[in-house]
Amino acid sequence: MKILVCGGAGYIGSHMVRTLVANGHEAVIFDNLSTGHPESIPGLPLVQGDLLDSRALLQAFEHHSVDAVMHFCARSLVSESMSEPNAYYQNNVAGTLNLLDAMRRAGVDKLVFSSTAAIFGQPQSDVIDETHPTVPINPYGASKLMVERMLADAASAYGLRSVTLRYFNAAGADPDGDIGESHQPETHLIPNVLRSVLGRGDGLKVFGTDYPTADGTCVRDYIHVNDLTSAHLCALQFMRAHTGAHAFNLGNGCGFSVLEVIESAQRVTGARIEFERAPRRAGDPAVLVASSAKAREQLGWEPVYTGMDEIIATAWRWHRDQRY
Ligand SMILES: NC(=O)c1ccc[n+]([C@@H]2O[C@H](COP(=O)([O-])OP(=O)(O)OC[C@H]3O[C@@H](n4cnc5c(N)ncnc54)[C@H](O)[C@@H]3O)[C@@H](O)[C@H]2O)c1
Ligand SMILES: O=c1ccn([C@@H]2O[C@H](COP(=O)(O)OP(=O)(O)O[C@H]3O[C@H](CO)[C@@H](O)[C@H](O)[C@H]3O)[C@@H](O)[C@H]2O)c(=O)[nH]1
């Protein structure tokens, strides 16, 4: 298949492009490079454009006859969304609306959408499955939930087929070590932990040590980026046989606290990692752990990277020799 990968120069999108090509598909990347890196998609077709620019989108569909779209574009920082909500609704909601319009005009009827655990808000159960109430506590999560609603409406009104994949915490890098996670500024835990080992950044901070968890720090479900991309391949297959809008939670089903992540990074790097205890970060729920039983059963998806050390080892390989 030929796939338009919106946000394909970003962290997860660039891994997706690699997986598509490795599996015999063709990828065209649409990206405004606001947080993406052209170095992560060398030699591949890149349309540099913005989802908010309807004309650029329409042209992309005119020039490239694609079978489906994968949509990774977003502003995606929880704390930034608390201080700049309008920017989040504009990019994530209005931008996606433009994309849906352009797809409709071009007659492309299959979409895989990147959603997030942040749509659920404060967890009301130990593990979060698809029946969990969706009550986001930050504008980032709210913007993604709005898109999920738009996709359900587009399915009934226009026959759009979609699979929404709600990632928990994406982590790790391709084992080859030549693409990986690189955000500026970097706010994510694992890159910050590894950067601190390399003496980069302003020193590692642990945000919140008074959460109602075993060691007082936030617990998250870290899922390897290549396990996310394999789920997208399953989603493409799924849409061949299923109409409608479908949503799946993607995680390992296992929570790790911030301190456990630091301990794992110490084992992998062999370094002693110093950190400062800092106040809680706005918008962070205490615990987010996924049940991915539905994805396993209905998509036939099986994550390969289940251990934290194994995931961090792939990220470490990238960070030691970071190329962009
Ligand atoms: N990283 C995570 O842990 C995580 C977890 C849950 C969900 N997600 C979602 O997965 C997706 C990818 O996340 P990521 O970590 O790879 O982010 P990223 O910032 O690395 O990638 C996003 C890409 O989209 C591009 N982009 C953003 N807005 C655009 C626009 N208006 N027009 C064109 N291009 C645009 C950026 O330049 C970038 O290349 C996002 O939708 C994010 O919300 C990420
Ligand atoms: O330098 C740091 C960075 C993070 N944290 C903590 O580590 C945990 C994980 O934070 P981070 O890596 O920033 O991820 P999240 O804020 O959990 O958000 C990620 O995971 C969400 C789903 O769970 C996605 O929606 C988001 O897009 C994605 O960024 C949180 O408790 C943070 O407070 C620190 O203590 N120090």
Domain final position from 231, 250, 269: 250
Shared domain for 213 and 234, answered yes or no, is no
CATH number of the domain encompassing residue 284: 3.90.25.10
What distance in angstroms lies between residue 173's CA and the mean position of ligand 1's atoms? 15
Q: Say yes or no: CB of residue 258 within 6 Å of ligand 2.
A: yes
Q: Taking residues 101-117, what's their average pLDDT? A: 98
Shared domain for 208 and 140, answered yes or no, is no
Shared domain for 231 and 310, answered yes or no, is no
In a domain, 295, yes or no: yes
Please tell me the residue having the least CA distance from ligand 1 atom 43.
76
Question: In total, how many domains does the chain have?
Answer: 2
Shared domain for 157 and 45, answered yes or no, is yes
- Nearest in space to 315 (alpha carbons), one of 198, 154, 142, 152: 198
In a domain, 161, yes or no: yes
8 Cα nearest atom in ligand 1? 39
CA atoms within 13 A on the CB side of 308: 22
In a domain, 183, yes or no: no
Q: Say yes or no: CB of residue 64 within 6 Å of ligand 2.
A: no
pLDDT the model gives residue 283: 78
Q: Which contacts (CB < 8 Å, 24+ apart) does range 59-64 have?
A: 60/4, 60/28, 60/30, 60/102, 61/4, 61/102, 61/103, 61/105, 61/106, 61/108, 62/106, 64/2, 64/4, 64/28
Shared domain for 31 and 57, answered yes or no, is yes
In a domain, 179, yes or no: no
Shared domain for 207 and 243, answered yes or no, is no
Shared domain for 121 and 211, answered yes or no, is no
Q: Say yes or no: CB of residue 74 within 6 Å of ligand 2.
A: no
Question: 């209005």: which residue's tokens?
Answer: 94
Catalytic, 222? Answer: no
* Per-residue pLDDT at 284 exceeds 90: no
115 Cα nearest atom in ligand 1? 7
Prediction ipTM score: 0.97
- Does this model's pTM top 0.90? My answer is yes
Q: Say yes or no: CB of residue 252 within 6 Å of ligand 1.
A: no
Shared domain for 283 and 151, answered yes or no, is no
Shared domain for 78 and 212, answered yes or no, is no
Band of the pLDDT at 126, cuts 50, 70, 90?
A: confident
Shared domain for 257 and 197, answered yes or no, is yes
Question: 């190329």: which residue's tokens?
Answer: 323
What distance in angstroms lies between residue 130's CA and the mean position of ligand 1's atoms? 22
Q: Which domain holds residue 139?
A: 2-171+223-250
Shared domain for 144 and 276, answered yes or no, is no
* Per-residue pLDDT at 48 exceeds 90: yes
Please tell me the residue having the least CA distance from ligand 2 atom 7.
189
